[in-house]
Amino acid sequence: MSSTYGNRIRFSIFGQSHGEKIGCVIDGLPAGEAVDLEALYRFMARRAPGKRLTTQRRETDRPYVLSGLFEGRTCGAPLCVLIDNQDTHSADYDRLRDVPRPGHADYPAFVKWHGYQDHRGGGHFSARLTAPLCAAGGILMQMYERRGIRIGAHLYSVGAAQDLAFDPVNVTPEDLCAVGDDFPTLSAERGMQMQAVVEEARRNGDSVGGIVECAVLGLPVGLGGPIFDGLENAIAHAVFAVPAVKGIEFGEGFHAARLKGSENNDPYWMEGDTISLTSNHAGGILGGLSNGMPLIFRAAFKPTPSIAMEQASVSLRDRRDERLSITGRHDPCVAIRAVPCVEAAAALALADFCLPND
Least CB distance to a second copy at residue 302 (A)? 4
Least CB distance to a second copy at residue 335 (A)? 7
Q: Looking at beta carbons only, is 66 or 192 nearer to a second copy? A: 66
- 340: nearest Cα among 201, 137, 162, 89: 137
Least CB distance to a second copy at residue 43 (A)? 20
Least CB distance to a second copy at residue 174 (A)? 26
Q: Looking at beta carbons only, is 75 or 178 nearer to a second copy? A: 75
Find out whether 190 and 164 touch, Cβ atoms under 8 Å. Answer: yes
Q: Looking at beta carbons only, is 42 or 268 nearer to a second copy? A: 268
> How many other β-carbons are positioned within 10 Å of the β-carbon of residue 117?
20
Q: Looking at beta carbons only, is 42 or 205 nearer to a second copy? A: 205
Residues contacting 184, CB < 8 A, separation 6+: 46, 153, 154, 155, 336, 339
CA distance 122 to 15: 11
CA distance 65 to 35: 10
Q: Looking at beta carbons only, is 31 or 42 nearer to a second copy? A: 31
CA distance 63 to 136: 10
Q: Looking at beta carbons only, is 52 or 73 nearer to a second copy? A: 73
Least CB distance to a second copy at residue 34 (A)? 10
Least CB distance to a second copy at residue 207 (A)? 4
Least CB distance to a second copy at residue 128 (A)? 12
Q: Looking at beta carbons only, is 61 or 249 nearer to a second copy? A: 249
CA distance 132 to 344: 10
CA distance 209 to 80: 33
Per-residue HEC secondary structure of 70-138 comes to: ECCEECCCCEEEEEECCCCCHHHHCHHHCCCCCCCCHHHHHHHCCCCCCCHHHHHHCHHHHHHHHHHHH
Report which residue type is found at 223: L
Least CB distance to a second copy at residue 194 (A)? 12
Q: Looking at beta carbons only, is 91 or 268 nearer to a second copy? A: 268
Measured CA angle at 211 (ends 289, 312), to 5 deg:
125
